[in-house]
Amino acid sequence: MDPEAKALDYHDVLLRQGDVQLLAGPHWLNDQVIAFFFEYLQREVAAGAGVLLVSPDSTYLLASLGPDAGPAVVLEPRGFAAARLVLLAVNNNPDVERAGGGSHWSLLAYSAARNSFHSYDSMAGSNRQAARAVYKAAAAAAPPGARFVEERAPQQANGYDCGVHVLAVAKLLCQRAAAAEGSSGQGISMAVSPKEVTPAAVTVLRQEVLELIRSKMAAAAAGAAGGKCGS
């Protein structure tokens, strides 16, 4: 199988066969797999719930541009000001000239109701510097006084599941936002307990995302075949 061969076009995300195969084994997830699942959550889980999900490449650009230019380029065009919950995929890539590097993922979530940014790191403290860089850039788009909060996130049980932890916490927060759609008050709970994101649940989610991609690949192939028959 050619790893560069196109596997799936899903709205703004292109997945290649090599991207999909990362989910099939004990592998670190790349930008494209996380971007796909963020796009899925945005469109099919939290649609209409006031949630904005920012892909890894856009989060990288935000941090690289910093508070002066980052919000205007990355956040404001995407409707940050109107969002109740904003989720950003953070990578510890130290190369400000090239996206796609790094060795660890974490999640940064902005709660508009609390005016606070919550960091979820499955290897506690590993991404603190990277998360703070994203926070400083994004806070320029938030009301004055936005806080940075390090949450006690569930911890990974191996050296490669940090990306799946990001997907798991993002999915949980999106489900909460969707369930609370239309409600007022202090917004959704931002705490995530180890009972909600267990090592077993992370393993299951890795397989679920793989099956989700495969089902969409099959649907796209069926649609293409139907179009040819009807042409």
Range of the structural domain that residue 143 is part of: 6-229
Q: Which residues participate in catalysis according to the annotation?
A: 104, 121, 162
> Residues 75-95: pLDDT tens digits?
999 999 999 999 999 999 765
Q: What is the pTM of this model?
A: 0.93
Is residue 193 included in any domain, yes or no? yes
> Residues 9-68: pLDDT tens digits?
999 999 999 999 999 989 999 999 999 999 999 999 999 999 999 999 999 999 999 999
Beta carbons of 154 and 196 less than 8 angstroms apart: yes
pLDDT of residue 1: 74
Is residue 1 included in any domain, yes or no? no
Is residue 156 included in any domain, yes or no? yes
Is residue 44 included in any domain, yes or no? yes
Mean pLDDT score of the chain, rounded to an integer?
A: 92
Q: For the chain, how many structural domains are there in total?
A: 1
CATH code at position 49 = 3.40.395.10
Mean pLDDT along residues 118-132: 96
Is residue 194 included in any domain, yes or no? yes
- For every residue of 5-18, DSSP letters joined together read SEEEEETTEEEEHH
Percent of the chain with pLDDT over 90: 86
Is residue 43 included in any domain, yes or no? yes
pLDDT of residue 62: 97
Is residue 29 included in any domain, yes or no? yes
pLDDT at 119 over 60: yes
> Residues 61-72: pLDDT tens digits?
999 999 999 999
Mean pLDDT along residues 118-140: 97
pLDDT of residue 225: 73
pLDDT of residue 95: 57
Is residue 210 included in any domain, yes or no? yes
